[in-house]
């Protein structure tokens, strides 16, 4: 079963052809980072314009590289939320047009389910399952009692982890998106600043990163005013240690409370080396009975291959979008009350 998948929720225009949700035949990703960098973040109007310019070329290239034609495609899957409304609409419209013209079913896909399914390319999913989804706009622990059922048990109350990386990166003069560079700097420094670890000991599965971000920014500004230059590697290492400590500790606690067969790590921030190593270590030590799948480095950021993998499950589940399918910028998994 071949799925033609679309992803345009933010600043990547991506189209992929995926077989049975487990094999990538093509995955074309056109990133707009260069256009947004000088603004220090994604400019929505600029993003949708780029999507419009590039989407048809991405479709042509994805089909070309896959070596298949429209006749071989079983369904068209598309991210319909969460994300920027103008960006989402380009993908949704393109997917509709192609589905309509080629008499194919249209499958609406949740972008965060997509991130999760990037890990499906590493191995088979087993349930019940827990996922730590960490990205530019989200930081959440998602419990899945079975396939296609998602329950948020904890999430950030303010900034997402990736957002915090990008904001503190800006203070250090790192271009957007800053996560990768800060991660590299962190490997060269030490946790000398001991920034706060918010909500680490609280009896819930929620996160908060805005206090850490403020503490970081204040430290840098105060040093600036004293005419002092702080070591950027130590700053990065200290920030990262704080983020990783909280993410890992809360995840371990969630696994104490919810017995699962598997932990999934996915989302843009799942590319973080400190986080990947720490979870490897903690899982072996505290939850050796639970398997772990970390999304492949190349599929942590936004891409359509992950949407094709999630879309395949949605397609089999009978999810269909009508010709009136709309973008849902604030689409969310349901939140469960936890005690
Ligand atoms: P969302 O998926 O929540 O809608 P998004 O799609 O914008 O948001 P992603 O593309 O999933 O976010 O991830 C991008 C984020 O990942 C950016 O904030 C970026 O800084 C961060 N990131 C990328 N690589 C790393 C890394 N190695 N360490 C930490 N953060 C990283
Ligand atoms: Mg992006
Ligand atoms: Fe994303």
Ligand 1 pocket, residue 183 CB under 6 Å: yes
User: In the chain, what percentage of residues exceed pLDDT 90?
Assistant: 93
**Nearest listed ligand to the Cα of residue 81:** 1
Ligand 1 pocket, residue 10 CB under 6 Å: yes
Ligand 1 pocket, residue 139 CB under 6 Å: no
Does residue 66 sit in helix, strand or coil? helix
Q: Is 18 annotated as a binding residue?
A: no
pLDDT tens across 281-296, in order? 999 999 999 999 999 9
Ligand 1 pocket, residue 114 CB under 6 Å: no
131: which residues sit within 8 A by CB, 6+ positions away?
116, 119, 141, 142, 144, 263, 264, 265, 266
pLDDT of residue 39: 83
Instruction: Read off the pLDDT of each residue in 73-99 and give the average, rounded to a whole number.
Output: 98
Mean pLDDT of the chain: 97
pLDDT of residue 34: 82
Ligand 1 pocket, residue 21 CB under 6 Å: no
Ligand 1 pocket, residue 140 CB under 6 Å: no
Ligand 1 pocket, residue 138 CB under 6 Å: yes
Ligand 1 pocket, residue 267 CB under 6 Å: yes
Ligand 1 pocket, residue 30 CB under 6 Å: no
Task: Quickly state the pLDDT bin for 33 (edges 50, 70, 90).
Answer: confident
Q: Does residue 217 register a pLDDT over 70?
A: yes
pLDDT tens across 161-179, in order? 999 999 999 999 999 999 9
Q: Which of the 8 DSSP states describes residue 337?
A: P
Q: Does residue 200 register a pLDDT over 90?
A: no
Q: Is 134 annotated as a binding residue?
A: yes
Ligand 1 atom closest to residue 301's alpha carbon, by position in its atom list: 10
Kindly give the distance from the C-alpha atom of residue 165 to the centroid of ligand 2, in angstroms, as a whole number: 13
Considering only CA atoms, which residue is closest to atom 30 of ligand 1? 179
Task: Quickly state the pLDDT bin for 339 (edges 50, 70, 90).
Answer: low
- The 3 state secondary structure assigned to 278-313 is HHHHHHHHHCCCCEEEECCHHHCCCCHHHHHHHHHH
Instruction: Read off the pLDDT of each residue in 130-144 and give the average, rounded to a whole number.
Output: 98
Q: Is 133 annotated as a binding residue?
A: yes
Q: Is 206 annotated as a binding residue?
A: no
Burial class (CB in 10 A: 0-12, 13-18, 19+), 203: exposed
ipTM over 0.95: yes
Considering only CA atoms, which residue is closest to atom 31 of ligand 1? 179
**Nearest listed ligand to the Cα of residue 88:** 1
Kindly give the distance from the C-alpha atom of residue 301 to the centroid of ligand 2, in angstroms, as a whole number: 6
**Alpha helix segments (H runs only) across the chain:** 33-37, 44-66, 85-101, 111-117, 161-171, 179-186, 210-225, 232-257, 273-286, 304-316
Kindly give the distance from the C-alpha atom of residue 302 to the centroid of ligand 1, in angstroms, as a whole number: 8
pLDDT of residue 211: 96
Query: Model's pTM, two decimal places?
Result: 0.97
Q: Is 319 annotated as a binding residue?
A: no
Task: Quickly state the pLDDT bin for 40 (edges 50, 70, 90).
Answer: confident
Ligand 1 atom closest to residue 267's alpha carbon, by position in its atom list: 11
Considering only CA atoms, which residue is closest to atom 11 of ligand 1? 268
Q: Does residue 207 register a pLDDT over 90?
A: yes
């Amino acid at each position: 079963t071949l799925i033609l998948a679309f992803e345009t929720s933010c600043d990547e225009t991506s189209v992929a052809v995926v077989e049975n949700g487990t094999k990538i035949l093509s995955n074309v990703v056109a990133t707009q980072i260069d256009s947004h960098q000088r603004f220090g973040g994604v400019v929505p109007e600029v993003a949708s314009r780029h999507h419009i310019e590039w989407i048809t070329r991405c479709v042509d290239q994805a089909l070309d590289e896959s070596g298949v034609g429209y006749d071989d495609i079983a369904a068209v899957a598309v991210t319909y939320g969460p994300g920027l409304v103008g960006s989402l609409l380009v993908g949704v419209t393109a997917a509709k047009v192609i589905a309509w013209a080629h008499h194919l079913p249209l499958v609406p896909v949740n972008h965060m389910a997509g991130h999760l399914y990037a890990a499906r390319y590493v191995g088979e999913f087993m349930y019940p399952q827990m996922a730590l989804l960490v990205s530019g706009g989200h930081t959440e622990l998602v419990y899945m009692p079975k396939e296609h059922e998602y329950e948020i048990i904890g999430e950030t109350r303010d900034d997402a982890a990736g957002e915090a990386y990008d904001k503190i990166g800006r203070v250090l003069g790192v271009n957007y998106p800053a996560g990768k560079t800060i991660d590299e700097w962190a490997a060269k420094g030490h946790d000398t600043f001991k920034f706060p670890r918010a909500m680490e000991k609280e009896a819930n599965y929620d996160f908060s990163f805005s206090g850490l971000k403020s503490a970081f920014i204040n430290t840098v500004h105060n040093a600036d005013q004293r005419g002092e230059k702080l070591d950027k590697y130590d700053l990065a290492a200290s920030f990262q240690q704080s983020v990783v400590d909280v993410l890992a500790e809360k995840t371990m606690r969630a696994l104490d409370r919810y017995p699962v067969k598997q932990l999934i790590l996915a989302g843009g921030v799942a590319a973080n080396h400190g986080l990947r190593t720490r979870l490897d270590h903690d899982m072996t030590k505290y939850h050796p009975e639970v398997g772990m799948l970390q999304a492949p480095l190349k599929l942590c950021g936004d891409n359509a291959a992950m949407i094709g993998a999630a879309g395949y499950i949605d397609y089999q589940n009978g999810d269909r979008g009508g010709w009136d399918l709309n973008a849902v910028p604030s689409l969310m998994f349901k939140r469960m009350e936890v005690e």
